[in-house]
Amino acid sequence: MKYFKNFFAFWYDFIVGDDWTVAVGVAVALAVTYAVARTSVSAWWIVPSAVVVIFPWSLWRSIRKG
């Protein structure tokens, strides 16, 4: 059990890192892009717009944590 816990913790830390909101934000942005791309609306602008929101947000969280 401890082995699985450590294994999961390692991969979580490796992929998600110290700010889980970044991973969630990226997943949401890509999901929205996927959905919008199936309509007649252009979808290329969604991920860059998400980066413009997610990056300062994550930076601000880090600065506030100190």
Partner 1 sequence: MNAGALFLAVFLACAVEAVEATTIVLAAGTARDWRSALVGVGAGLALLAGIVAALGPALTAVPLRDLRLFVGALLLVFGLQWLRKAVLRASGHKALHDEDKIFREQLAAARAAQTRKIGLVADWYAFTLSFKGVVLEGLEVAFIALTFGSNQHDVPLAAVAAVAAVVAVVAVGVAVRAPLARVPENTMKFVVGVMLISFGTFWGAEGAGAHWPGSDAALLVLVPSVAAFGLALVAVSKLCASSKAVSEDRASTTREVTTPA
Tokens representing residue 23 in the block: 């991973």
Contact 26, 4 (CB under 8 A): no
* Contact positions vs partner 1 (CB under 8 A): 14-19, 22-23, 26-27, 29-31, 33-34, 36-38, 42-44, 46-48, 51-52, 54-56, 58-59, 62-63
Query: Least separation, in Å, of the C-beta of 21 and partner 1?
Result: 10
Q: Is the dihedral of CA 64, 55, 24, 1 positive or negative?
A: negative
Answer whether 61's CB lies under 8 Å from 21's CB.
yes
Q: Which is nearer to partner 1, 5 or 48 (CB)?
A: 48
Smallest separation (angstroms) from partner 1 to the CB of 11: 10
